[in-house]
Chain A
Amino acid sequence: MAHAAKVLLNVPDIKKDFPILHRKMRDKPLTYLDSTATAQKPQQVIDAVVDFYSRYNANVHRAIYELGEEATRAYEGARERIAEFIGAKDPMEIAFTKSTTESLNLVAYGYGLKSGRLKEGDEILGTVLEHHSNHVPWHFVRDLKGVTLKYVDVDDEGHLRMEQYDDLITKRTKIVTVAHVSNVLGTISDVKEIAKRAHEVGAVCVVDAAQSVPHMPVNVRALDCDFFAFSGHKMLGPTGIGVLYGKKEMLELTEPLLGGGEMISEVHLGSAKWNDVPYKFEGGTPNIAGVIGLGAAVDYLAKLGMPAVRQHEMELTAYALKELAAVEGLRTYGPKSVAERGGVVSFTMEKAHPHDIASILDVEGVCIRSGHHCAQPLMDRYDLAATARASFYVYNDVEDVDRLVAALQKVNEVFG
C-alpha cells in the first residue's frame, strides 16, 4: 500500500478536526468521498461561525458601535486573507457572492450584458467540459445580446483540445471561459495559456475555479485571468458564500447584479451612483458568518500548505486509479497522468448503473456521487448518461480508497 501520502499531510490528525468524520453511517465508519460536491468542515470553521453569532454579531460597515466595528474587521480581514490565498494584488478585487454560480452569473450579466463591451455578432468561447453553471449564464447572454457561443472540445482522454483555440478564437471573440479543473474528469486546464490567447484578441478570460482553489496552489496574477469564480463550501468553508475575483479594471467595467443597500454611494428618486469596487457587487446584508467562516477555512488550508494538499491528492488519486483498475468491469475516465488531473475519479461499471453503485456503497457507509454531475454536454460528448464519481480531500487516506474498492466488489457480487 502507498502510505507515502501520510508523510505530507497527517491525515489521522486532520480527521480529528472534522467532527462529522467521527459519525458512523449504518454502523460503519463514514467514508466521505464526495468533496467535489461539498467539503466537510473542520471544528475551526464551525467555531468561527459560532463565535461570530455568539460574541460579535452585528451588521457590517455602517454601525457606529464597537460590536459593528468588530464584525466589520472580521469580515474585511477575511477578504484580505482570501485575496492573499489566491494571489490577488488587492483585497478590493474580491467580491463576495453566494456561490460560484452567482459569481459566474454576475460576470455574464454585469460584463457580458451590461458593460457595453459585447455587441451582436460577437463570440463567447467556452468548452464542452464546463459545469452547467458555466454554460447556462452564457446562454442568457446569447439570447439577449445575439452573440454566438462556441466550444472547445476534449479529446478521448479528457484533455482540452488546445489546438482548437487557434481557429475558434477570432477577432470577434470577447469572452473566453474555462473550468480550471473539471468536476467530472478532473482535467486541469492550462488557464495561463488560454488567458494569453484570449488577451491576444482583446478578449477577457473568465475562469470557473470551483474545483481548483480548494485543491491546489493558485495565483491569479500568474494565471493572468480577468475573472475567477469559486465557492467557500468546497474548500472547508460554509455553504452560501462564493467569491468573484476580478482584476480591478475589469470589476470597474462590470455592472452590479443586485441593487440595494451597501452597493450605492448615493441614491435619489429615480437615480443612483454605485459604490466602489467590490462593494457595488455586495448589495444587501452579506453572508457575514459565511465570509468569516471562509476566512477560517483559508487559514486552515494555508496552515496545511496548498502544495502539500495537492501532492497528497495526487498520491491518493494515483493509488485509487491503480486499485480501481483491478475491479472487474470498471472503467475510469479522465487524464491518465495524475499530474494532469485533480483528485476526482469518475467511473462506470459494466454490470451496474451509477445510481445502483452509489446505493450499494451507501449501505457500506461510502458516500460517492452518481449522475451527470451537472455536466450533461460533457456526458453527451462521451455518450454517457451518468457516471459514478469518487473525490478526495485533505481528510481522505488510502484506507478510504480501500473501503471504496471493497464496496465496489460488493456491487459486482450483487449484479454478477
Chain B
Amino acid sequence: MASGPGPYQAQILDHYKHPHNRGALEPATHTSREANPLCGDEIVLALRVDGTGRIEDARFDGEGCAISMASASLLTDALKGKTLEEAQALDRPTVLGSLGVPLSAVREQCALLPLRALQAALAPPVPAQGH
C-alpha cells in the first residue's frame, strides 16, 4: 500500500483499513472502555488471560480515526503471549514507537487511547468524577 502525507504511512493505512483483532472477545477476563475527550472516540479493549497469567487473546472494538485504530491493531498484536507484568510495562514511548510516524501532541492522544484502555483494563476501578 502507498504511503500518504504526514503520519499516513503505509503501515498505518494498512492497519486502519485491515485492522487485526477487531471485534468482541468471548469469554474475556479483562475489559475496559475508554473515550478520547478531544473527539469523543471510544474504544473497547478485551483480554483473555490464562491460568498462568499470560494473555491468550486480545481484541478491540470501536470507531475511531486511522491513528487510534492502527494503534489498537498494533497493540493487540503485541499483547498476545505477553504476561500481565509485561503488559503493564508497556508505556507511551513503546506505543508511539511502534507506530513509527511523526505525531502532533493532539494526535498522540489518539495513538495512546488503546494504551489508556489497556491500563484501565489492568487497573482496579476508580470512581468517576463529575455529576
Contacts and interface: CB of A to CB of B under 8 A. Distances in A.
Contacts of A139: 131
Interface string B1-29: 00011111000010000000000000000
Q: How large is the interface on A (under 10, 10 to 19, 20 to 34, 35 or more residues)?
A: 20 to 34
Given A353-B64, A385-B63, A360 B6 contact: yes
Nearest to B12: A356
Contacts, number: 60
Interface in B46-76: 63-67
B124 interface: no
B67 A355 contact: yes
A34 to B, nearest CB: 13
What does DSSP make chain A's interface, helix, strand, loop or mixed? helix
Given A143-B131, A355-B65, A360 B5 contact: yes
Given A139-B131, A356-B65, A371 B5 contact: no
A370 B66 contact: no
B112 interface: no
A379 interface: yes
B7 A359 contact: yes
Contacts of A379: 40
B5 A363 contact: yes
B62 to A, nearest CB: 9
Contact of A372 (B8, B39, B107, B110): B39
Contact of B38 (A360, A371, A410, A414): A371
B58 to A, nearest CB: 22
A410 B64 CA distance: 20
A183 to B, nearest CB: 15
Given A372-B40, A386-B39, A360 B4 contact: yes
Given A143-B131, A353-B64, A356-B66, A385 B4 contact: no
Contacts of A352: 66
A414 B8 CA distance: 8
22 contacts: A139-B131, A352-B66, A353-B63, A353-B66, A354-B65, A355-B65, A355-B107, A359-B7, A362-B6, A363-B5, A363-B6, A371-B39, A371-B40, A372-B40, A385-B39, A385-B41, A385-B63, A386-B41, A410-B5, A413-B4, A415-B13, A415-B66
Interface of B: 4-8, 13, 38-42, 63-67, 104, 107, 110, 131
Given A359-B67, A371-B39, 7 more contacts: A143-B131, A353-B63, A355-B65, A356-B8, A356-B67, A360-B8, A414-B4
